[in-house]
Amino acid sequence: MYSKVRMGMIGGGQGAFIGAVHRMAGALDGRIELVCASFSQNYENTKITGACESISEKRLYVSWQEMLDRELDLPEYERMEFISIVTPNHLHMPIAKAAAEKGFHIICDKPAGMSYDEVAGLAPILTSSGSIFALTHTYLGYPMVWQARHLLEKGTIGKLKKIYVEYPQGWLAQELEASGNKQAGWRNDPAKAGLAGAMGDIGTHAHSLVEFISAQSMIRVSAHLRSHFKSRQLDDDGVILFEMDDEVTGVLTASQICAGEENSLKIRLYGSKGGLEWSQMEPNSLKVRQSGQPMQIFRAGLDQSLCTAALERTRLPSGHPEGYLEAFANLYRQFAAAVRNNESLQARGVPGLVEALSGMAFLEAVVASNAQNNMWVEINNNVPAQFQRLAS
């Protein structure tokens, strides 16, 4: 009998959004069991959340430090195998490093940390402990994102020339942080959110999508960031012009003040012969335009026309819509398989340390460019030699 992979969670108590998402993503395929947690700095919250999740009270911990220590004391067959980090950003790396030092595997929300250097400091620990570190760039869990990458790779649209990626949201069009909204609050606090606001929160998703589908790195950016309220310390809106290897240019917009917009991440890539378009809000379709030919719409689930990687990320026949939680669950399922089978994340198609570093380097270049009148700034694409990029 296969035993479920045992997960612990840090952060994500009641009132948080993303913690519940990670729990559902972990649960969906029946391969992962949530066995322990330190959901909140408020232990009452941890207990209430834990009770709802059917976690034994003795494995609900007062602090993440306690959780790491006490789980290590448990017999191997019982103790958690990996932790899921869903705290505000500033805690990601301290927890990840401590966990890796104790040999636990890690799956972490994005952005990975507060600076490139902070995240780079995780690399030697992972190397010495053998821990796996995964980063939940949700949108890389969607099958049609893999199909897009596959079509680009096989030349369907010719040589890549132009990328547009946009990520409008509307939830910060009002000054929510002023009225005590918890999500808005920490995201507007540089000590907790890090270098950037909207760019860190959603711009990094757009960045990772660009690099993943194109299988190329951004090499420089010219960034224009804005904040639309005096009290708002971090950007809520921005546009990034970028250049990639090989004469590819692009435009990335990310904004949280587009009132009325939901979560409208969309990417378009154009090559010498055609273009690809994918929208997160209609995730099961991939539009493929080729000059002079009818547009094609590839659909998730439609067996014969999809690549293997896309099919592996599909649970249902076409026409039975899958969505955000299924994409998230794809990351968890592949990560859990890597943990259990001691496989590489790259082989499992899950973003990890390289993508974490890329994201931090992107943010640092963006902030630097914005601070210097939008001058072009190179992105630090140095990656520790022992780690592999997902999209290579």
Q: How many residues does the chain have?
A: 392
Whose CA is closest to 362, among 208, 245, 148? Answer: 208
* E strand spans, 74-217: 82-85, 105-108, 133-135, 160-168
Query: Total residues at the site for a copy of itself (CB under 8 A)?
Result: 95
Both structure tokens of 295: 């547009």
Among residue numbers 237 through 266, which ones bind a copy of itself (CB under 8 A)?
237, 239, 241, 249, 251, 253, 255, 257-264
Q: Residue from 133, 298, 332, 387 that binds a copy of itself (CB under 8 A)?
A: 298
- Nearer Cβ to a copy of itself (70/273): 273
Among residue numbers 25 through 84, which ones bind a copy of itself (CB under 8 A)?
27-31, 34, 50-57
Residues 6+ apart with CB under 8 A from 17: 183
Q: Residue from 191, 319, 344, 372 that binds a copy of itself (CB under 8 A)?
A: 319
- Among the listed ranges 93-101, 104-112, 295-303, 342-350, the one in contact with a copy of itself (CB under 8 A) is 295-303
155 in contact with a copy of itself (CB under 8 A): no
Check: CB of residue 237 under 8 Å from CB of residue 257.
yes
Beta-strand pair 5-10/82-85: parallel
Check: CB of residue 266 under 8 Å from CB of residue 251.
no
Minimum distance, C-beta of residue 183 to a copy of itself, in the bound complex (Å):
10
Coil, strand, or helix at residue 268?
strand
- Nearer Cβ to a copy of itself (65/290): 290
- Among the listed ranges 37-45, 82-90, 287-295, 353-361, the one in contact with a copy of itself (CB under 8 A) is 287-295
- Nearer Cβ to a copy of itself (189/261): 261
Minimum distance, C-beta of residue 90 to a copy of itself, in the bound complex (Å):
23
**Contact letters (x/-) for a copy of itself, 221-240, by CB under 8 A?**
-x-x-x-x--------x-x-
Check: CB of residue 349 under 8 Å from CB of residue 366.
no
Q: Residue from 79, 102, 315, 340 that binds a copy of itself (CB under 8 A)?
A: 315
Type of residue at 253: T
**Contact letters (x/-) for a copy of itself, 157-196, by CB under 8 A?**
xx--xx-x-x-xxxx-xx----------------------
Both structure tokens of 177: 């942080």
Cα-based torsion angle of the residue sequence 56, 58, 60, 64 in order, rounded to the nearest 10 degrees? -140
Cα–Cα distance, 117 to 200 (Å, whole number): 16
Q: Residue from 41, 127, 233, 296 that binds a copy of itself (CB under 8 A)?
A: 296
Coil, strand, or helix at residue 319?
coil
